[in-house]
Amino acid sequence: MGVHLPYSPKWYWPVEGFSGVPEVDRYFDRKNIFSRFLKTSRQFLRLNDVIMESVEKGGRYSFDLSGPLLEQCEWDPELLESFRELRESGSVEFTGSCSYHSLSSLYPDLSWFQEEICIYSEMLRELLGVTPETFVNTELLHTESVGSMLAEMGFRCLIAEGSRNLLNGYEPVHVFENNLPTLLRHINLSEDLELRFSEKEWESFPLISEKFADWIASMDGDVLTLYFNYTNLCVHYRNQSTIADFIRTLPGALKVRGIEMLTPFEAVKRFVPLRLPTLETEQTIRYGMHNAVGNHAQQLYLRELVRVGEELSRLKESKNYWKLKQVFGYLQQSEILFSMNSENIRDGYEKAVNYFSILSDFRRAVLEEEA
Amino acid sequence: MTSVCMYFQLHQPFRLRRFWPDDRSGFYRYFDERSNREIFERVARKCYIPTNKVLLDSIDEHGGKFRFSLSVTGTLLEQCELWGTEVLEGFRQMAETGAVEFLDETFYHSLSSLYENKTEFIEEIKEHRELMFDLLGVKPQVFRNTKLLYNNTIAKIASDLGYRAILTEGADHMLEGRSPNLLYRAKGSGLPIIFRNYKLSDDIGYRFSARWWEGYPLTAEKWALWASGVKEDCVNIFMDYETFGEHQWEETGIFAFLQKLHGEVLKNNLSFSTPLEIVEKYSPVAEIDVGDFSTISWADMERDTSAWLGNDMQRRCFEETKLLEPFVRKTGDPQILRIWKHLLTSDHYYYMCTKWLGDGDVHSYFSVYSTPFDAAVNFMAVVMDFKAQVFRKLSAIA
């Protein structure tokens, strides 16, 4: 389950920039982020309690907590404590990820990506006392070029999106062979929980755990990977749907059908990986990323991130390097790219103009630091 | 005798290319050489060259009686030098007739008059003045600002620079019932103001070929008769030169109309005067007060600055380029300065306008972008890259 709350950029005016080393607050509205966090963190807490009940009934889960979320947890230590309790249950795995929820795995130079992973693993060790063994890239992106790097960094399992072009007709019901043993998300079943659960018009509404377990029982294969956004579960929960009952009763419903719940790392240890030829092609990106980098604005922003990243990495000895690096981290959040999506061009491009203005002030600060 | 004062505006911007940060350098890293050239050549063929010819013939036909004025932006004159010497030759011939008065404006057809700091505005007027002398050998005495943008401060600057009159839009909300057919003076500077008669101007410029219009089809006889209905000092007809052959295609009969116009005007006991002659002939009748925050222009229904600064994308882009000024100057790099000045051209901001109702079709007609949002993103992408160039340069010389 992915748990993430991004830092959203504010509506910035150039007059706020053009001088000095920027603080995070110059580009991000922390007051707004704080109040949103307070609202959401209470919901996360209640849902964590439900997960705990499910764990006590035999459930096993893994969490992909984003870097920005972990940072925000300092505003609500109780939430962090609740994740610690889940860890102590022994039935919950915590995965590694990019600390700024960025798309840095797409940059030509992977050093930012590598650094983000290290920062994140360090954060996880410090806050929860765990060392991640499974890696989940931002947006479940799969990039062939990073596989061997992740293996060298000590990861032993990868979870990626089970997109059709990757699966090429296979069902995502095995561990697949790659630089890292790979689990591919089952999109339909994941989205049943993530998106359709509260939809009264949906033919399978209301979804109860027995029905869901029946579907899984009818499938062949070794292991099925479900991944969904925790925030969406909160939405179902808020709508007073039956999601809490579903989660509580799922372990029992699976068990009577002879299905075991596993964490990702347990799955790759148990099953023999199956060869999936499409994973081995030379293409860099296999997951349809047009929502993130499909239009002119998004490509320009990504390209500018790469350029400013190169400039910033030459300033490691500089006085303000760490301060700049932190802001750069937030500017790389994938949400910024996604929100420029032009399916609603007005909304997306008005934001893009704002983001370009922000990024150009940041780059100004980096170039001035070079002097 | 009532005077008809005609003034035609000529301008082409340097449009941006669809930006991508590749290896190109210099001016054409940002500006699109090919599409600007193609557009220039098309407009030259359809409008500038034939219209120059019709007007020169008309001057010949009537000796000194047919008189008018032109305002040609610096950016268009640069393009003429690059791609259209024939067009430039036409302007030179007009200057030699003595029947054509050339006006001054901002070199880059820019929005610099809206900056709090007027350094750039004044510099652009001086650049334009120099260019007019260098290319056409004329010294303009009358000023018109980009898109007729006007307020007391703009008039004051024009007055301080020695101009003897200023042209602007006869906006209803400012005239408040007073006639645009008289001369006024600006509050503060006392500079004479000549107001555009938008009704009689738009009858030609905007409605000429409109079948929905009760005046259709417009003939020179009919128009001259309407103009002769004005019994005050002057009928000030300001419009785009592109009215002839570009906004109104040749097939609409616009050139035939233009050929006949001067004869019909003279027949109706009206005379032609250029703006300078207007201020020599008539006296201002009242003072006009337009504060800096009520700036008027000839654009759209609102006749204010909203065509360029009406939405947040436009305001962000405008603020970026405005705030860049001291840094651009500090580089001391003539190429960087030239690029920056071309980014101030009002057209870039006009393409980002989102006032779709009513005026949207006019905006989209003039734009090379499919939406104002594309225009804004592309402009800001250029700014983002250009700004980095400026600050890289400053770091290097620090």
What does the pLDDT read at residue B398?
Answer: 83
- Per residue in B199-223, pLDDT (tens digit) is 999 999 999 999 999 999 999 999 9
| Helix and strand element counts for chain A (H, E) | 17, 6
Q: How far is CA B207 from the centre of its chain?
A: 19
**Residue to test with chain A: of B23, B377, B395, most A Cβ within 10 A:** B377
Please tell me chain A's helix, strand, coil percentages from 3-state DSSP, rounded to the nearest 5: 55, 10, 35
Nearest Cβ partner of B384 from A11, A342, A356?
Answer: A356
Contacts (Cβ under 8 Å, ≥6 apart) of B238: B6, B7, B8, B9, B148, B167, B196, B201, B298
Q: Which residue of B has its CA nearest to A18?
A: B323
Using only C-alpha atoms, chain B has a radius of gyration, in whole angstroms, of: 21
User: How far apart are the two ends of chain A, measured CA to CA in Å?
Assistant: 45
- State whether A345 and B371 contact (CB < 8 Å): yes
CB contact at 8 A, B355 and B147: no
Nearest to B89 by CA among B101, B77, B99: B77
What does the pLDDT read at residue B361?
Answer: 55
What does the pLDDT read at residue B358?
Answer: 45
- State whether B392 and A367 contact (CB < 8 Å): yes
- State whether A353 and B313 contact (CB < 8 Å): yes
CB contact at 8 A, B131 and B139: no
Order of strands, edge to edge, in the sheet holding A182-184?
A134-136, A157-160, A182-184
B359 pLDDT above the threshold of 60 = no
Phi and psi at residue A3, to the nearest 5°:
-115, 115
This model of the complex carries an ipTM of 0.93
Contacts (Cβ under 8 Å, ≥6 apart) of B177: none
- Per residue in A299-325, pLDDT (tens digit) is 999 999 999 999 999 999 999 999 999
Instruction: Work out the average pLDDT over A213-221.
Output: 96
A18 contacts in chain B (CB < 8 Å) = 323, 327
In the structure encoding, which two tokens stand for residue A237, read together?
């929960």
What is the rounded CA–CA span in Å between residue A3 and residue A66? Answer: 6
- State whether A304 and B21 contact (CB < 8 Å): yes
Grouping H, G, I as helix, E, B as strand and the rest as coil, residue A370 is helix
- Per residue in B250-305, pLDDT (tens digit) is 999 999 999 999 999 999 999 999 999 999 999 999 999 999 999 989 887 788 89
CB contact at 8 A, B277 and B235: no
Structure-model confidence comparison of residues A167 and B248, the more confident one? B248
Residue A371 forms contact with B (CB below 8 Å): yes
List Cα–Cα distances, A64 to A61, A150, A347, A352, in angstroms: 10, 16, 29, 28
B326 CB neighbour count, 10 Å cutoff: 10
According to DSSP, the β-strands at B165-169 and B192-196 are: parallel
List Cα–Cα distances, B98 to A364, B63, B93, B101, B270, in angstroms: 52, 10, 9, 7, 20
B217 CB neighbour count, 10 Å cutoff: 13
A348 contacts in chain B (CB < 8 Å) = 373
- Per residue in A129-141, pLDDT (tens digit) is 999 999 999 999 8
- Per residue in A91-131, pLDDT (tens digit) is 999 999 999 999 999 999 999 999 999 999 999 999 999 99
**Residue to test with chain A: of B115, B311, B379, B384, most A Cβ within 10 A:** B384
A371 contacts in chain B (CB < 8 Å) = 394-395, 398
**Residue to test with chain B: of A298, A349, A351, A368, most B Cβ within 10 A:** A349
Q: Which amino acid is at B280?
A: E
According to DSSP, the β-strands at B183-186 and B192-196 are: antiparallel
Contacts (Cβ under 8 Å, ≥6 apart) of A237: A43, A46, A47, A50, A243, A244
Contacts (Cβ under 8 Å, ≥6 apart) of B291: B151, B152
B392 pLDDT above the threshold of 50 = yes
B374 contacts in chain A (CB < 8 Å) = 296, 345, 349
- State whether B373 and A350 contact (CB < 8 Å): yes
B356 pLDDT above the threshold of 80 = no
Per-residue HEC secondary structure of chain B comes to CCEEEEEEEECCCCCECCCCCCCCCCHHHCECHHHHHHHHHHHHHHHHHHHHHHHHHHHHHCCCCCCEEEEECHHHHHHHHHHCHHHHHHHHHHHHHCCEEECECCCCCECHHHCCCCHHHHHHHHHHHHHHHHHHCCCCCEEECHHHCECHHHHHHHHHCCCCEEEEECCHHHHCCCCCCCEEEECCCCCEEEEECHHHHHHHHCCCCCCCCCCCCCCHHHHHHHHHCCCCCEEEEEEEHHHECCCECHHHCHHHHHHHHHHHHHHCCCEECCHHHHHHHCCCCCEECCCHHHCECCCCCCCCCHHHHCCHHHHHHHHHHHHHHHHHHHHCCHHHHHHHHHHCEHHHHHCCCCCCCCCHHHHHHHCCCCCHHHHHHHHHHHHHHHHHHHHHHHHHHC
What does the pLDDT read at residue A288?
Answer: 59
What is the rounded CA–CA span in Å between residue A79 and residue A75? Answer: 9
B117 CB neighbour count, 10 Å cutoff: 11
Alpha helices by DSSP H, listed for A57-142, are 67-72, 77-88, 111-128
CB contact at 8 A, B275 and B195: no
- Per residue in A14-38, pLDDT (tens digit) is 999 999 999 999 999 999 999 999 9
Q: What percent of chain A has pLDDT over 90?
A: 84
Average the pLDDT over each of A214-218, A287-291, B163-167, B245-249 and give the range with the smallest value: A287-291
Q: How far is A165 from chain B (nearest CA, A)?
A: 29
What is the rounded CA–CA span in Å between residue A244 and residue A187? Answer: 21
Residue A256 forms contact with B (CB below 8 Å): no
CB contact at 8 A, A222 and A175: yes
Q: Which residue of B has its CA nearest to A344?
A: B373
Instruction: Work out the average pLDDT over B156-161.
Output: 98
What is the rounded CA–CA span in Å between residue B347 and residue B336? Answer: 20
What is the rounded CA–CA span in Å between residue B378 and residue A299? Answer: 12
Q: Enumerate chain B positions whose Cβ falls within 8 A of a Cβ in A.
A: 18-21, 312-313, 316-317, 319-320, 323, 327, 354, 371, 373-374, 376-378, 380-381, 383-384, 387-388, 391-392, 394-395, 398
- State whether A363 and B387 contact (CB < 8 Å): yes
- State whether B377 and A354 contact (CB < 8 Å): no
- State whether B21 and A364 contact (CB < 8 Å): no
- State whether A363 and B391 contact (CB < 8 Å): yes
B316 contacts in chain A (CB < 8 Å) = 13-14, 353-354, 357
Instruction: Work out the average pLDDT over B47-75.
Output: 95
Report the sign of the C-alpha dihedral through residues B245, B250, B255, B257, in that order: negative
- State whether A14 and B374 contact (CB < 8 Å): no
- In this prediction, residue A283 has a pLDDT band, given cuts at 50, 70 and 90, of low
What does the pLDDT read at residue B357?
Answer: 40
For the stretch A197-205, contacts whose Cβ atoms lie closer than 8 Å and that sit 24 or more positions apart, written own/partner, are A197/A236, A197/A241, A197/A243, A197/A246, A198/A235, A198/A236, A198/A239, A198/A241, A198/A243
B362 pLDDT above the threshold of 80 = no
Instruction: Work out the average pLDDT over B114-135.
Output: 97
Residue A318 forms contact with B (CB below 8 Å): no
A342 pLDDT above the threshold of 90 = no
According to DSSP, the β-strands at B287-288 and B183-186 are: parallel
Nearest to A73 by CA among A28, A26, A126, A27: A126
- Per residue in B64-96, pLDDT (tens digit) is 899 999 999 999 999 999 999 999 999 999 999
Nearest Cβ partner of B316 from A14, A297, A303?
Answer: A14
B394 contacts in chain A (CB < 8 Å) = 367-368, 371
